[in-house]
Each structure stands twice: as structure tokens, then as C-alpha cells.
């Protein structure tokens, strides 16, 4: 009888129809690879260039298999000169192609920022709308692990400051595929700020995400978890920190609504406003520095909107420490937002001891 009962229970479990069990798993790396492959197949004007993207299959294997499939003309290895190949990419976009320019890390995009801002972002305006620059700048952004100050910076606030650019910051596999495809199809320059630490992480995805026609709208946030007591807004890997904090808070009876921004420019203010008008409390989470950060911008927009009058307590920002990233492992952890930091912030905003 015990064996028969165990078999019945096992059968029930194997036929579970819950989303988490039935959903397929996809790594962020494979999601980005699929997005590139599908868009290159869809439009012959799309091509990829950057350091080690071709014969080596990409420094992070995001472009795995694309060189073999599309050849030298559409998957191009470049010298280690960001200013040079970013300029080539911008010129190609002005001439009607759709380049995807990979930076091995966005820290190196500083070498090319003149092309990103002055050439790509401003040309549509300066040409009175006659010259589009359909280019994607993509690569890992923000903190990795053990690579110190010159390889760990978040450029979300830097690039979202600039009119003429769209800036997206995907978190999971759904974000990565849908936003990269949208960026490639966009008629204007889009900066895609990925995160190296989630490249190898698998996330559940639906059949819709795996479809070749799946595209996410740029400028629309996603509510990852509904809640009624406080709103937590984050982007990129900080969404994971926010979700873990929300789970811990739920055990104490605090239901936090977690918003994944997805897009930093345009920023989905309306989704934030609606949530805060419901919860009356707000905490922002980001790995970037505090001064002039994404959290600061959200605070300013709340202040300038009627949503301010719905707040029952001041907004609290949880950010990276205001220092260059340390190399030591313990100091690196101390310089980045951790789950206890978010929980502490929520408790302070809600007046919980």
C-alpha cells in the first residue's frame, strides 16, 4: 500500500502544470545568442562586430556559432581599439546597415564614448531627422567578480543621461532576448547593458519567449512580484537582490511589490507611480554609485509628480558604495547592495524594528 501511494504521489508531481515546473529553462547567454541569430537571419543588414566575437565565439560565448553560420562579412573580429570599431559601426549604421557593436565590457566603452554620444546619439537631431543611426551597443555592464575598479562600473546612469539614446538593462532570459531583438530592430541607437554574472544562469521561459517573433517593448517595466506594503524598484542583477529581499520580508508579513525597470531610457515612470500610489512607500536598488544614479532620477520624478503626496515616508535608495570597486572579495561584497541592505531599508521606511 505504501509503495502504491508513493507511486500515485510521484505521478501527480510529474504531471504538475504550475508555471515554474512546466516552463522551459534558458540561460541568458543562450537567450542573447538566439536573439542575435534570429535577427541576423531575419535581416541581412544586421551584422556583429567586436573583439573575439567571430572565430573565438565571443569572450563570453554569446556569439557562439554565428561566425560559422554567417561568415566573415557579418561576424567581424576587430582589433583591441574601441574608438576604431565603434566609429566603423556608427558609419555603417549611417549608411543603412544595422550593426551590433559589442564591447567586451562597458568600462571599455569609455574609449569610444565620443562615437556613442556625439556621432550616434546626436545625428538624428542634428540632421533634422534625415539620418537615422540604427545601431546597438551591447556587452556586460556593472560589477562582475574579482576584476576591481576598472572593470566593475555601472554605466546605466551615464548613458541614460543622454538624449538620442535608448538604454535597456535586462535581468533574466526573457528580458535579454526580447530587449535585444527590440534594440536591433529600433531605428535609433540603443545601449544594451547586460550583466556578466547572469550569463550562465538559467531562467524559466514560456513558449512565447522562444518564438522567433517575441519582442519586448522598450520603455516598459515589468512587475516581478505584486505587493501592497512597499514598492522596490531595481534593474539588472539588482532585481535578483530585490526579489530575494521580498521573499525574506514576506516571511515577516511584509508584501513588497518588485518592479524590474528593464528600460532606463525611456524610464517607465507610470508603472512606478501607480505602484507607489498603491503601496505609499518606495525603495530603489541599484549597483551603481549613489550620486546622480537611477534611484536619484526616480526620486526626482516622484517629487515632481502628484505621487509625492501619496508617500507615507521618505524614499530610500540602496546603491553601490561611493568608492571605486575594491579588489578584495570581502570589500567587493561590502561595496555592492546585499539582501540585508534592502531588508534594512524597507524596515526603516516602514518604521519596523
Q: Could you give the residue numbers annotated as active site? A: 82, 151
Q: Beta 256-260 vs 190-194: how paired, if at all?
A: unpaired
C-alpha 144/C-alpha 155 separation (Å) is 13
Is 155 in contact with 193 (CB distance < 8 Å)? yes
All residues at 6 or more sequence positions from 320 whose CB lies less than 8 Å from its CB, including other chains: 143, 154, 286, 287, 288, 289, 290, 335, 336, 337
Cβ 104 vs Cβ 69: under 8 Å: no
Q: Give CA–CA dist 120/68, Å, rounded.
A: 29
Helix segments in the chain, DSSP class H = 2-14, 19-22, 28-42, 66-70, 82-94, 113, 122-126, 156-160, 173-185, 207-210, 238-250, 269-279, 294-303, 329-335, 339-350
Amino acid at each position: 500500500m505504501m509503495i502504491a501511494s508513493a507511486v500515485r504521489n510521484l505521478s501527480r508531481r510529474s504531471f504538475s502544470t504550475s508555471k515554474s515546473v512546466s516552463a522551459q529553462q534558458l540561460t541568458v547567454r543562450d537567450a542573447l545568442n538566439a536573439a542575435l541569430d534570429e535577427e541576423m537571419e531575419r535581416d541581412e543588414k544586421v551584422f556583429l562586430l567586436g573583439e573575439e566575437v567571430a572565430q573565438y565565439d565571443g569572450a563570453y560565448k554569446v556569439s557562439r556559432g554565428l561566425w560559422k553560420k554567417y561568415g566573415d562579412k557579418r561576424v567581424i573580429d576587430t582589433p583591441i581599439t574601441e574608438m576604431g570599431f565603434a566609429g566603423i559601426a556608427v558609419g555603417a549604421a549611417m549608411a543603412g546597415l544595422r550593426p551590433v557593436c559589442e564591447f567586451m565590457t562597458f568600462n571599455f566603452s569609455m574609449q569610444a564614448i565620443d562615437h556613442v554620444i556625439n556621432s550616434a546619439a546626436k545625428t538624428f537631431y542634428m540632421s533634422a531627422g534625415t539620418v537615422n543611426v540604427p545601431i546597438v551597443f551591447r556587452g556586460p555592464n556593472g560589477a562582475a567578480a574579482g576584476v576591481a575598479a576598472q572593470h566593475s562600473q555601472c554605466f546605466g546612469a551615464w548613458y541614460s543621461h543622454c538624449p538620442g539614446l535608448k538604454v535597456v538593462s535586462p535581468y533574466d532570459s526573457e528580458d535579454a532576448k526580447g530587449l535585444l531583438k527590440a534594440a536591433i530592430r529600433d531605428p535609433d541607437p540603443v545601449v544594451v547593458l547586460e550583466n556578466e554574472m547572469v550569463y550562465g544562469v538559467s531562467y524559466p521561459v514560456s513558449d512565447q519567449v522562444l518564438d522567433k517573433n517575441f519582442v519586448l517593448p522598450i520603455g516598459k517595466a515589468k512587475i516581478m512580484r505584486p505587493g501592497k506594503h512597499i514598492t522596490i524598484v531595481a534593474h539588472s542583477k539588482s532585481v535578483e537582490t530585490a526579489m530575494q529581499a521580498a521573499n525574506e520580508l514576506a516571511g515577516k508579513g511584509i508584501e513588497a511589490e518588485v518592479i524590474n525597470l528593464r528600460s532606463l531610457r525611456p524610464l517607465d515612470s507610470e508603472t512606478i507611480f501607480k505602484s507607489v500610489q498603491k503601496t505609499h512607500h518606495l525603495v530603489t536598488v541599484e549597483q551603481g554609485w549613489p550620486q546622480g544614479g537611477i534611484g536619484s532620477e526616480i526620486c526626482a520624478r516622484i517629487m515632481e509628480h502628484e505621487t509625492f503626496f501619496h508617500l507615507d515616508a521618505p524614499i530610500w535608495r540602496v546603491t553601490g558604495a561611493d568608492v571605486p570597486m575594491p579588489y578584495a572579495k570581502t570589500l567587493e561584497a561590502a561595496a555592492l547592495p546585499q539582501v540585508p541592505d534592502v531588508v534594512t531599508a524597507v524596515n526603516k521606511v516602514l518604521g519596523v524594528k
